[in-house]
Structure 1
Amino acid sequence: MARTQPVPSLIAIIMIAGMCAAVLLTQGRTVGIQQAVVNTLDDAGTRTIIVRADAGAGLDDSVLARLHRLSSVATAVGFGDPVDATNSYLPGGTRVAAHTFYSLSPAQLGIQGTDSVDNAIASPEALEELGMAEPSGSISTVDGLEYPVTAQLDVPDHLAFMEPLIVIPRESSPDESQQGEPLTVLVVVANQASEVPQLTAVLRSVLGVSDPESVSIELSGDLIELRELVDSQLASSGRSLTLLIFTVTAVLVTATLTALIMLRRRDYGRRRALGASQRLICALVLTQTSTIAIVGSAAGAILAFAVLAASGVPQPPWQYFLAVASLATAIGSVSAVTPAVVAARRDPARELRVP
């Protein structure tokens, strides 16, 4: 049926493809930029919660096991009381704070296996402060201890505030029944920025400290507010345009399909005269229209993907492409309901008399 009237069918395909492509090239571009901006803000530390505790607060590394059970926690690491350290071969050199480091998964800082336990690992900035060109040699702390420097540490973004950073990894026991090693800094990263407020609310209840007043919790409040503002503003910026495009296209597709059905009214009348039911006529029209809508939506989505890829702008997620194509198909199919009902209810005897 669609092939017998190529021009009206092609017009309908072009309109649906244009609708799908227009939405993806406008609102879809905005969604891609929105995701890129929000991801950048997330990487900047909006998911990070920093807990600072006094030396006698009672915060110890057993809290890591309790945090590990929370589904909203992506990672949690603890640091002991810092101690000044210098290059063992440069007496009187620059002092850099060294922290004992506790984690249930040492690989979170790029520490593999247990070879690094009780050895010092320094960031590039710390190595420069110590006067070391390479991660080799040793450091001496002010309390008389010496640790070999065995590796360089790539500091993740959520620990950048501790630079220059030297860590001395220690094994953390997951047994909560035992007294753990004291911590002065606990860094918790949520899976999503939206989970930070809820995680902060329950964090105090799992710290297990003896004096809650000696513990402070820090958030990237400004970044969180900025993320929410950017997310909401970009999400709402193109909704009216999207609604307008879908509405105008739905009206045009309805008019085109009505004209297409009027051109085939003798065919529908002949089918009705041969015993076809109204339901069958509706099914024929809707099947034809749905096929046209699927072809148009797929063509529009492919065209928009190619244009966005060629322009180099951030692409919206594939779920957005699928959602827009599905909505365009649905609009094209629903637009045919009224013409299909009109075609099914035409009098077959009258239609057969049409020249």
Structure 2
Amino acid sequence: MRPSALLREALTAAWASRIPTLLVSLVVAGMTFAALFTVGRQAAQEAQLLQELAGSSARTLTVTVSRTPGQIPYSSVPLLQELHHAESVIATDLPIDAVNGALGEGSSIAVTTVHGDLDQGIRLIEGRLPGPGEVIIPASSVQRLNLDLPAGYLQSAEGAQWSIVGAFTAQEPYEHLDAMALSAPEADSSTLDGSSLHQVRILADSTHQVRAVQAATLAIIGADPTSIQVDSAAAAADTTQRVTDQFAGFGRSLLLLILGAGAFFVAIVVLADVLIRRRDLGRRRTLGITRSELIALVALRTTAPALSGAVLGTLIAQLTLSAQNHTAPWEFSAATALLATLTATIASLTPATYAAHRDPVAIMRTA
């Protein structure tokens, strides 16, 4: 029998057997709804939790010189920027206090030279990024420095001056920059010995790569471990991984339980159907349909209502979750619906095989 004819015959048989078709559809709809309402909601909560736990603060590595200066050379910054899993790198020199140069007194602000991906660590509010001998100041410090606009200049106690060319706000995880005025390095700063480079902060691209980034960073810097302080989110990344693994394990177990229960009920419905319709199936066998074609016929007759039930269960589950301010990802929903349909199809194979291997002559005599 041609596949198209077999499919047409299966759909006709499914329409003719409305009660078994309806039961299979309802069982699969209930199975899909239960899976999405429990495992789907858990998947949504897991995604939300993972987003919170995998924020920039959980992907940050900070290395600070604590004792002997010169532990972090300038030349290490370009190498750190080339790390495959480093999303951004910002290093700062030892800050110098400065005041509003026009007043010569008042509130002071720490001035530091920034190396690395400054544009990824801040958001400019006014002006432009600084060049050598220039600074941008935090937007929150404009009034504190007795300025009407981010313009003018800063001056240190030693007489060094920096022109103010803009204002900024720091972005995660570089909030520490909001307390400092930021200057650009001199063109030849890469040739210096790094004695004044004070801190480097690196943002990994994922929590899974924090430990790898930490190991690579320490290897590149090559600092004396007793002279630096390392603040790493590796422990938080490990906790995130354990939590998500536990969520995923529980979700898989629950999903298998739901699918197993659904498969059991589908198998019962299909078995009852083939027993009730044994005369029709026996007649098909006597007319020449092969065992494999009969198995395919029963399986396709189950798949059609299973697919409609999976779609119905998905829609009801999504509407219910939306009413509760939860939304299972549509990719997960589609995969669950497909899995429920496949489960129903597989569950029908055992009753179909049983029906295909019965003696058609004996069935026609006794039915």
Deviation, 1:105, is 6.4
Matched, 1:242 2:255: yes
The sequence identity of aligned pairs, in percent, is 26
Change over 3 Å in CA distance of 1:130–1:220 after alignment to 2: farther
Deviation, 1:49, is 0.1
Q: Is the 8 A contact 2:310 2:338 kept in 1?
A: yes
Change over 3 Å in CA distance of 1:68–1:162 after alignment to 2: closer
Larger mean Cα displacement after TM superposition, 298-307 or 44-53: 298-307
Q: Aligned with 1:71: secondary structure?
A: coil
Change over 3 Å in CA distance of 1:155–1:334 after alignment to 2: same
Deviation, 1:261, is 2.1
The residue that corresponds to 1:323 in the other structure is 335
The residue that corresponds to 1:265 in the other structure is 278
Q: Is the 8 A contact 1:123 1:152 kept in 2?
A: yes
Deviation, 1:70, is 2.2
Deviation, 1:258, is 1.2
2:318 corresponds to which of 280, 299, 305: 305
Q: Is the 8 A contact 1:103 1:171 kept in 2?
A: no
Q: Aligned-pair RMSD on alpha carbons?
A: 2.9
Alignment of 1:177-326 (within 5 A): 183-209=197-223, 211-220=224-233, 223-224=236-237, 226-313=239-326, 315-326=327-338
Alpha-carbon separation, structure 1, partners of 2:362 and 2:71: 92
Change over 3 Å in CA distance of 1:32–1:259 after alignment to 2: same
Letter in 2 for 1:159: Y
Q: What TM-score do you get using the length of structure 2 for normalisation?
A: 0.84
Q: Aligned with 2:16: secondary structure?
A: coil
Change over 3 Å in CA distance of 1:348–1:172 after alignment to 2: farther
Alpha-carbon separation, structure 1, partners of 2:59 and 2:147: 33
- Deviation per residue, 1:238-279 (Å, 9 max, x gap): 444333322211111111111222233222212211111101
The residue that corresponds to 1:167 in the other structure is 182
The residue that corresponds to 2:46 in the other structure is 34
Alignment of 1:117-196 (within 5 A): 117-118=131-132, 119-132=134-147, 134-170=149-185, 183-196=197-210
Q: Is the 8 A contact 2:72 2:221 kept in 1?
A: yes
The residue that corresponds to 2:116 in the other structure is 103
Matched, 1:344 2:356: yes
Larger mean Cα displacement after TM superposition, 224-233 or 327-336: 224-233
Q: What TM-score do you get using the length of structure 1 for normalisation?
A: 0.87
Deviation, 1:345, is 0.8
- Structure 2: segments with no counterpart, 5+ residues: 1-12
Change over 3 Å in CA distance of 1:318–1:143 after alignment to 2: farther
- Deviation per residue, 1:40-98 (Å, 9 max, x gap): 12225110000112673242333232223322211111112211122234432122212
The residue that corresponds to 2:90 in the other structure is 77
Larger mean Cα displacement after TM superposition, 183-192 or 217-226: 217-226
2:346 corresponds to which of 334, 346, 351: 334
Change over 3 Å in CA distance of 1:131–1:240 after alignment to 2: farther
- Structure 1: segments with no counterpart, 5+ residues: none
